[in-house]
């Protein structure tokens, strides 16, 4: 039989999609600089925040018949060797496929295992997408949200009270942090 030859180079996006197609649906994989990364299972707080955010944004989209959609867990092709998966994204409402490269807002809920990657690598990687206007990072252990906006050269804006209002100007919306953290026990 011999030893099979393995390509030692970085995994490409097409190889990654073929690989993830064979994995169970409950696994969340990302391709980060050519390396497939399996994310840990999300906590209840993490999932509660994602649910709150998705429900609020989806309700807004339905009420106003906007030309964008809210999607959780969709891969974003940054390059041929990087396909990260934001927790929630907003993109134009004309989508088919397993990935996109045109998100306008990305949301990440920080987890102990992903905080460094989310705040450093993903922030820089997402900013390379010409379509991205805002990157929002949400803490799950405290009422704290940080927004990085293209209009401000991705400089940091912090929101740290339940009464704070996160503005999402590209979609004409504002979200009260109290609503993001509803049901988490952090209020």
Output Rg (C-alpha) for the chain, integer angstroms: 17
Q: Where are the alpha helices (DSSP H) in the chain?
A: 13-20, 44-64, 115-116, 123-127, 177-180
How much is the pTM?
0.91
* Cα 38 to the center of its chain, rounded Å: 15
Query: Is 91 in contact with 69 (CB distance < 8 Å)?
Result: yes
Which residue in 86, 89, 92 sits closest to 66, CA to CA? 92
Instruction: List the chain pLDDT tens, one digit each, 187 residues.
Output: 566 656 678 999 999 999 999 999 888 999 999 999 998 888 999 999 999 999 999 998 888 878 889 999 899 999 999 999 999 999 988 766 778 899 999 999 998 888 888 889 999 999 999 999 999 999 999 999 999 999 999 999 999 999 999 999 999 999 999 999 999 999 9
**Rounded to an integer, what distance in angstroms lies between the CA atom of residue 118 and that of residue 176?**
22
> Is the CB of residue 103 less than 8 Å from the CB of residue 77?
no
Report the alpha-carbon distance of residue 63 to residue 83 in Å, rounded.
32
Q: In this predicted structure, what is the pLDDT of residue 26?
A: 85
Q: What is the DSSP letter of 185?
A: S
Residue with tokens 């944004």: 57
Using DSSP's 3-state secondary structure scheme, residue 106 falls into strand
Whole-angstrom Cα distance, residue 110 to residue 169?
23
Judge contact between 134 and 148, C-beta under 8 A.
Answer: yes
Q: How do beta strands 155-159 and 145-149 pair?
A: antiparallel
Q: What pairing do the DSSP bridges indicate for beta strands 75-76 and 99-100?
A: parallel
In this predicted structure, what is the pLDDT of residue 112?
A: 83
Over residues 76-103, the pLDDT tens digits come to 999 999 999 999 999 988 766 778 899 9
Burial class of residue 44 in the structure, from the number of CB atoms within 10 Å of its CB (0-12 exposed, 13-18 middle, 19+ buried): exposed
């Amino acid at each position: 039989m011999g030893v099979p030859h393995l390509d030692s180079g970085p995994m490409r996006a097409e190889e990654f999609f073929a690989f993830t197609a064979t994995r169970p649906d409950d696994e969340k994989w990302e391709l980060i600089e050519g390396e497939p990364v399996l994310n840990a299972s999300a906590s209840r707080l993490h999932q509660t925040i994602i649910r709150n955010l998705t429900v609020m944004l989806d309700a807004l989209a339905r009420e106003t018949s906007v030309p964008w959609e809210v999607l959780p867990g969709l891969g974003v092709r940054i390059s041929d060797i990087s396909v990260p998966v934001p927790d929630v994204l907003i993109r134009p409402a004309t989508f088919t496929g397993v990935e996109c490269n045109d998100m306008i807002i990305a949301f990440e809920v920080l987890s102990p295992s992903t905080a460094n990657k989310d705040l450093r690598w993903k922030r820089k990687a997402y900013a390379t997408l010409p379509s991205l206007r805002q990157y929002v990072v949400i803490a799950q252990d405290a009422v704290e949200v940080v927004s990085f906006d293209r209009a401000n050269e991705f400089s940091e804006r912090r929101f740290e009270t339940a009464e704070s209002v996160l503005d999402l100007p590209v979609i004409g919306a504002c979200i009260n942090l109290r609503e993001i953290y509803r049901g988490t026990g952090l209020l």
